[in-house]
Amino acid sequence: MLARPQRLVKQKGFEKIFKQGRACYTQLLGVRVLASQVDFNRFGIVVSTKISKKAVERNKLKRRIRRALQELNKNLVVGFDAIIIALPGLLNENYRTVADELKKIFVKFRLLK
């Protein structure tokens, strides 16, 4: 579980990142990133009903993404907000694939130390 200050929960924060942030997409994940003025990183996760109609499956994906973010956050540059967007192919993938995809995207953004 991400600590409360590290979570993006307000609609206003999501809208700002979607409008002004940079985007990178792979076959399984999309990430939008925007620099922020805080000393830590904040993350929001989007798993729509297009991925699965079952809440159990959507929540399982969110837990996998959160766990991968916890591991990666130790090695990330601080001071940005990110929204992670799950795409339909992610449902059938395991945790290691999710973590590798996130790492690949953060390397493209040059946010990995």
Check pLDDT > 90 for residue 95.
yes
Q: What is the pLDDT of residue 113?
A: 86
pLDDT of residue 1: 79
* pLDDT tens-digit readout, 2-35: 888 999 999 999 999 999 999 999 999 999 999 9
Q: Answer whether 42's CB lies under 8 Å from 3's CB.
A: no
Query: Could you tell me which residues are beta bridge partners of residue 22?
Result: 33
**Domain 8-108, architecture per CATH:** 2-Layer Sandwich (3.30)
What confidence tens digit (pLDDT) does each residue in 33-87 have? 999 999 999 999 999 999 999 999 999 999 999 999 999 999 999 999 999 999 9
Amino acid at residue number 68? A
In the numeric block, the tokens 């290691």 are attached to 96
Cα separation, 110 vs 93, in Å, equals 25
Concatenated DSSP letters for 40-105? S-EEEEE--TTT-S-HHHHHHHHHHHHHHHHHHHTTBPSSEEEEEEE-GGGGG--HHHHHHHHHHH
